[in-house]
């Protein structure tokens, strides 16, 4: 779903699309492809300031 939305934005001329997936990471799409960056595991349920 998010990859298709990012490609639709690319078709409108946006070179790099980055979509936050919250605790699941982020999606980056450009002319070379699409990648998902996964965040490190957090303990205690807090996602802000996780180390």
Q: What is the mean pLDDT of each run of 10 residues along the chain (51 residues)?
A: 94 97 94 94 65 56
> Quick one: residue 15, left, alpha or beta (phi over 0 = left, psi -120 to 50 = alpha)?
alpha
pLDDT given for residue 41 in this prediction: 79
Q: How many CB atoms lie within 10 A of CB 21?
A: 13
Burial of 9 (0-12, 13-18, 19+ CB in 10 A): middle
pLDDT given for residue 23 in this prediction: 85
pLDDT given for residue 31 in this prediction: 96
What are the start-end ranges of the E strands in the chain? 17-20, 26-30, 33-37
């Amino acid at each position: 779903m998010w990859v298709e939305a990012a490609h639709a934005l690319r078709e409108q001329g946006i070179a790099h699309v980055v979509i936050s997936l919250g605790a699941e990471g982020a999606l980056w799409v450009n002319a070379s492809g699409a990648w998902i960056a996964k965040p490190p595991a957090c303990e205690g349920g807090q996602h802000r300031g996780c180390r």
